[in-house]
Structure 1
Amino acid sequence: MDKLCRMSTAIERVTLDDVAREAEVSLATVDRVLNNRPGVREGTATRVRQAMEKLGYRVDPLAARLARGSSFRFCFILPAGTNPFMAALGQQVEATAEWLYGQRASAEIRQVDVFDPVVLAAALDSLGTIYQGVAVVAYDDPLVRAAIDDLVRSGVAVVTLVSDVPSSKRQHYVGINNTAAGRTAGSLMGRFLAGRRGKVGVIVGSLGLRDHMERQFGFSQVLSGEYPSVELLPVVQGRDNTEMTKAAAAALLKSHPDLVGLYNVGGGTRGLGAALEESGRAQDLVVIGHELTEPARRYLLHGVFDAVINQNPGHEARSAARVLLAHCLAEPLVAEQEQIRIDIFLRDNLP
């Protein structure tokens, strides 16, 4: 092990000066060979390449960009509003920007009403080519798909973040498998109800957000197929807004005295919790939500929520930055590193 560590350290310290000495040529000659510039005899170039191979020299992309004075500029388009998870995602993007600075790259945040495809598409169209990479919480709509495709055609790398537009030309999706997350919620709901009969309500932010649509689909698959004792009610929308989600939940609670479960697919967690507490039925229903925000944590602790399905905003922010940087550098991705996992939290395993 010690020998391997010493070998690794030695390789990391190989410089162009070392290559020049090994090949018995000037540093300028090594630079010409490295950058495929003319003026070097083939025999000399072969000797330089052999020296690089012998010493294990590897090009340092950061050093190369420093030498050229080049850098990359990225833009993160996140939802406007008061969604605590998206606020946490924005904070993590800001933290990741510090790491990007050391990689000769920068990250800027633009907040947009992603529930409005016209507004979101216009925001994407306005970017032009001033950025080399864009990460966007996307709305699956033809206008948004066209805007993403236009950016890609103009040479801008595009990553969809949290919510995907798979039919677009985007390079990568950073987020959880939302159908699997919805199926997980369905399994938890069915098991927690333990044979109780009644109705289950589903509140989404918007079915135009593919992550919400896929979660609702997975949830319905499991509950309808495996738990015939419950009846799924038609989906209602809350636009991840506290007051709208509260109103939607209150209407379900009032209209359906036999309601036994609620699944909140998106945000608006404070509104859902408030409606449950005001109804006096908080302890009677099985309630499952998403994202371990502070309101969700509090509702779990007090028994208002039974489970929360989570995705790590820090992992997603860092993954989006790594993917954009790798694309700009034409470097391969480590698939396992960029896979965002689904976490399940109960009151018993809160971090």
Structure 2
Amino acid sequence: MSETARFKATLQDVARTAGVSLATVDRVVNRRDGVRGKTVARVEAALAKLGYRPDAAAARLARNQTFRFAFILPTGANSFMTNLDEQVRRTADWLASQRAFIDVLHVDVFDPDALAGALASLSSSYDGVATIALDHPKVRAAIDDAANRGIRVVTLVSDAPSSRRLHYVGIDNPAAGRTAAALMGRFLCGRRGSVGVIAGSLVLRDHAERQFGFHQILSSEYPELSPLAAVEGRDDNERTRMLTARLLSSQPDLAGLYSVGAGNRGIAAALEASGRAHDIVWIAHELTVHTRALLLRGVIDAIINQDPGHEARSAARVLLAHCLGDPVMPDQERINIDIFLRDNLP
């Protein structure tokens, strides 16, 4: 790196290097007419020499331009979504430095009418929205309507791919389900029995895709294991406790449990009350303070995780990039699937 590139060059530096006025540099940088070709070449040479990069936030400040985004997150006490909410609010601090601002709205995302209504009622003052999505006709129509009104839409964690959303921020959920099945098969290591699947809601595409991937691998590669039809706990601890207790009593050969969504404290309560917490292999999603403790105690055997901080920042970056007309970098915005055992907890 050259000595001149070690500092952040300003337009004043460029003007001094090129031997022209600041007004002339401004005209060249902003592609305005009225500058001779030789002068343009001299200014462009100075820009290249100094490694000048325009400050987009400063330019927006000069134009008094700001952006406003909404993040639609679920109501309730789901630990992963609570973490995501916290990360969105942290991201808001960074985004404010870019002259962009976030409002967080809480909606029952399991209810298509409620979610579609929230999208439909978004003010046209919003430049973009990041939303947990249901792959439901009403929600897809509401996303399309928001796009028609000029609101850029990014789906977050759960997708609605046939809608007019611009980008999906989340993991590859079928792959996550296949990963859970591969872990289940290896942990059970030749044992025979049934495997229960507890989802939050199969209307959520991420939950439906995970259980699809799980059944796909378990049925084809582990014929000694019988995956049961998924039941829906709506990510509620008491409901998942009751569903787990019912599985334990109705399926005496139950060998494993795959928790597709949240409500894990309810599952743990039922397993521990049955005395079978260390006999049944349990694969869960999302590393939270509660699932971490269950993993350390050996109640959960493995956790499939997605990074809520990465997702919050990615959604904000993608919305800002679309507002500015900048490219989205796929490698930077890819959300990885993490696998945690108690031996590799961060």
- 2:89 equivalent to 1:94: yes
Cα distance in 1, alignment partners of residues 139 and 126 from structure 2: 18
**In the superposition, relative to structure 1, how do residues 180 and 7 fare at CA in structure 2: closer, same or farther (>3 Å)?**
farther
CA drift at 1:24: 3.7
Deviation at 1:44, TM superposition (A): 4.5
Q: How far, CA to CA, are the matches of 2:136 and 2:301 in structure 1? A: 33
Q: Is the 8 A contact 1:185 1:288 kept in 2?
A: yes
SS at match of 2:304: strand
Which residue in 1 is equivalent to 2:183?
188
In structure 2, how many angstroms separate the alpha carbons of the residues matched to 1:328 and 1:314?
21
Output the CA distance in 2 between the equivalents of 1:188 and 1:134: 36
SS in 1 for 2:328: coil
- Aligned amino acid, residue 198 of structure 1: G
Secondary structure of the 1:274 match is helix
Question: How far did residue 52 of structure 1 move?
Answer: 3.0
Give the secondary structure class of the aligned counterpart of 1:165. Answer: coil
Residue aligning to 2:259: 264
User: C-alpha separation between the residues in 2 aligned to 1:248 and 1:286?
Assistant: 17
Q: Distance in 2 between matches of 1:43 and 1:303?
A: 73
Greater mean deviation of Cα atoms: 328-337 or 76-85:
328-337
Give the aligned length: 346
Contact preservation (8 Å) 1:197, 1:230? yes
Deviation at 1:171, TM superposition (A): 1.4
Map 1:292-303 onto structure 2 (within 5 A): 292-303=287-298
Q: Distance in 1 between matches of 2:322 and 2:47?
A: 26
Structure 1 CA distance, aligned partners of 2:343 and 2:325? 44
Tell me which residue corresponds to 1:328: 323
Deviation at 1:36, TM superposition (A): 3.6
The TM-score, its normalising length taken from structure 1, stands at: 0.93
CA shift for structure 1 position 33: 3.2
Q: Which residue of 2 aligns with 1:247?
A: 242
Q: Return the match for 2:217 from 200, 215, 222.
A: 222
Q: 1:42, CA displacement in angstroms? A: 5.4
Superposed CA offset, 1:34-88 (max 9, x none): 3344544555445444443454332221121121121111111001111000000
The residue that corresponds to 2:5 in the other structure is 8
**Percent pairwise identity:** 63
* Counterparts of 1:277 and 1:149, CA distance in 2: 46
| Residue in structure 2 matched with residue 277 of structure 1 by the alignment | 272
Identify unmatched segments of 5+ residues in structure 1: none
Contact 2:130 2:153 in 1 (8 A): yes
Aligned CA distance change for structure 1 residues 139 and 32 (closer, same or farther; 3 Å): same
Instruction: Please say if residues 128 and 151 of structure 1, whose CA atoms lie closer than 8 Å, have aligned partners that are also in contact.
Output: no
For residue 329 of structure 1, report the CA deviation from its aligned partner.
1.6
**2:232 paired with 1:233:** no
The match for 1:339 is 334
2:195 is aligned with 1:200 = yes
**Which 10-residue stretch deviates more, 169-178 or 78-87?**
169-178
Give the drift of 1:18. Answer: 2.7
Shift in alpha-carbon separation, 1:129–1:189, aligned structure 2, 3 A: same
Q: 3-state DSSP class of the match of 1:260?
A: strand
Aligned mates of 2:139, 2:2 — CA distance in 1: 49
Matched, 1:74 2:91: no
Please, which of 160, 181, 188 is the counterpart of residue 165 of structure 1?
160
Q: Which moved more, 1:318-327 or 1:329-338?
A: 329-338
Superposed CA RMSD: 1.7
CA contact (8 A) 2:240 2:263 kept: yes
2:22 to 12, 27, 33: 27
Cα-to-partner distance string for 1:81-110 (whole Å, 9 max, x where unaligned): 110000000011111111111111111110
Measure the CA separation in 1 of the matches of 2:56 and 2:308.
28
The question of 1:149 aligning with 2:144 is answered: yes
The 3-state SS of whatever aligns with 1:66 is helix
- Tell which deviates more after alignment, 47-56 or 233-242: 47-56
- Offset at residue 7 of structure 1 (A): 4.6
CA offset at residue 237 of structure 1? 0.4
Structure 2: unaligned runs, 5 residues or longer: none
Give the secondary-structure state (helix, strand or coil) at the position aligned to 1:201: strand
| Secondary structure of the corresponding residue to residue 229 of structure 2 | coil
Q: TM-score, normalised by structure 2?
A: 0.95
Structure-2 change in CA distance of 1:121 and 1:7 (3 Å)? same
